[in-house]
Amino acid sequence: MSETAHHDHDRQSIRLTSGDAVITAIPTLIGFTPADSLVIVTVAGRQVGLTLRVDLPPAGQQTRELAAQAAEVIDRHQPGADLAAVVVIVGTDTRPDLVGALTEQLAAVGVAVPQALHTPAIAAGMPWRCLCGCGHSGVLDDPATSVLALTTAVATGQVSYGSRAELAAALDSRIDPDTARRRGEQIAALHQSAARHQITAGRRGAPDDSGVADHRGGPDHSGGEETDAVVQGAILEFGARVLGGGLDQLDEEVIVGVGAALLTAAHRDALVGWTAENTEPGVMRAGWLWMVQQLTGEARAYAATLFALGALLEGDGAAANVALELAEQVHPGLSLTRLATDVAGCGIEPAVLRRMLCDAAR
């Protein structure tokens, strides 16, 4: 299991000047406090670039394979850059085999490892030391009160979770089974009504054998136009609440309408574009988090996928991966979820991803 995080230098400059500063920055850089993990923080000068976290592998062939994969990821994401990498081992063992393999593989792609660090856990009062023979060591301060954590919270609203499990729990449903069942039925009914309207409208406007459009069906009395108005109104109200606050004041009709919109390709594509176009930190993630907590079934899976895209647009691969795992669990096989999973695996830089999504939505 692995995550990548990209730091956006347009929003906040990060400079890490000591080993303990690097270690206490990790929860903020990746969004949660890792355990039994390898963390690689790339640095240009003293400015942070890509951060990569993976579970510690067992010794042997898997260690060598992981080191090669990590070097390939870093080289692919920042080719030609004058990079160094700080390697951090979080766990009971210092893992000299892993540090050695990484140093060798990173050197092969032109990335030096000036420092390797170890701590049993990233928490206040835990010991840390450098593994490079320099003798540097000490005791960690509380990561939550570091300058980086506090300035990041103020600048972007980003929350650092105590563990990956705690991050996953933030996406848990907030509705009871009866509400979930009722909303699922209402979303399905609204979506089916909209789909029938689209089919009927297509048939009325389709040409017959003479090439003349068939309007014999007359006006649409199926309620399809009313259905479209409900869905469009829900999207507008949701957008207003996302941008202006008050998500907890959304009523049942809006939640159901957004759920139905997520099941319709045209509306869903528009929502993807809207998510990419809004650049205010944390706003889109908060909106889709609310929908993940309030929706059910396929609509919830799409909301989780859009939350993941919002996270990737802010360089937060950890939150994106957790949300995509949830989406696949709730409703397996959605093409948008697969696409987002591929994007997360490639580690596309947020600015590049934003341009891609905005262009696709036009």
Walking along the chain (362 residues) 10 residues at a time, the average pLDDT comes out as 58 61 88 94 79 91 93 79 89 96 95 94 95 90 72 55 89 97 96 70 40 36 68 94 91 96 94 93 92 98 97 89 96 96 84 90 76
Note whether 116 and 231 are same-domain residues. no
CA distance readout (Å), 344 to 73, 76, 171, 311, 329:
12, 14, 18, 10, 17
Note whether 98 and 72 are same-domain residues. yes
Pairing of strands 127-130, 137-139: antiparallel
Note whether 161 and 262 are same-domain residues. no
Task: Evaluate whether residue 10 is within a structural domain.
Answer: yes
Can you give the pTM of this predicted structure? 0.76
Note whether 41 and 160 are same-domain residues. yes
Residue 32's nearest CA partner among 177, 212, 171 is: 171
Task: Evaluate whether residue 303 is within a structural domain.
Answer: yes
Q: Which pLDDT belongs to residue 203?
A: 43
Note whether 343 and 236 are same-domain residues. yes
d(CA 330, CA 301): 6
Residue-number span of the structural domain to which 190 is assigned: 177-202+223-361
Q: Which pLDDT belongs to residue 256?
A: 97
Q: Which pLDDT belongs to residue 18?
A: 79
Task: Evaluate whether residue 294 is within a structural domain.
Answer: yes
Tally Cβ neighbours within 10 Å of residue 12.
14
Domain count, the chain: 2
d(CA 303, CA 255): 11
Task: Evaluate whether residue 31 is within a structural domain.
Answer: yes
For the beta sheet containing 112-119, the strands, ordered from the edge strand earlier in sequence to the opposite edge, are 2-6, 47-55, 37-44, 84-90, 112-119, 127-130, 137-139
Task: Evaluate whether residue 210 is within a structural domain.
Answer: no
Q: Which pLDDT belongs to residue 15?
A: 52
List helix spans (H) across the chain.
Answer: 19-30, 61-77, 96-108, 147-156, 164-169, 177-205, 224-244, 252-262, 265-277, 283-294, 297-312, 317-330, 335-346, 350-361
Task: Evaluate whether residue 215 is within a structural domain.
Answer: no
Judge contact between 140 and 45, C-beta under 8 A. Answer: no
Q: Which pLDDT belongs to residue 108?
A: 94
Amino acid identity at 239: G
Task: Evaluate whether residue 214 is within a structural domain.
Answer: no
Q: Which pLDDT belongs to residue 150?
A: 52
Note whether 181 and 266 are same-domain residues. yes
Note whether 259 and 156 are same-domain residues. no
Note whether 47 and 73 are same-domain residues. yes
Amino acid identity at 254: V
Domain boundary among 118, 139, 165: 165
d(CA 41, CA 319): 18
Task: Evaluate whether residue 137 is within a structural domain.
Answer: yes
Amino acid identity at 243: L
Note whether 130 and 69 are same-domain residues. yes
Which residues lie below 8 Å from residue 80, measured CB to CB, with a gap of 6+? Answer: none
Note whether 126 and 28 are same-domain residues. yes
Note whether 10 and 73 are same-domain residues. yes
Note whether 15 and 157 are same-domain residues. yes
Q: Which pLDDT belongs to residue 147?
A: 63
Q: Which pLDDT belongs to residue 308?
A: 96
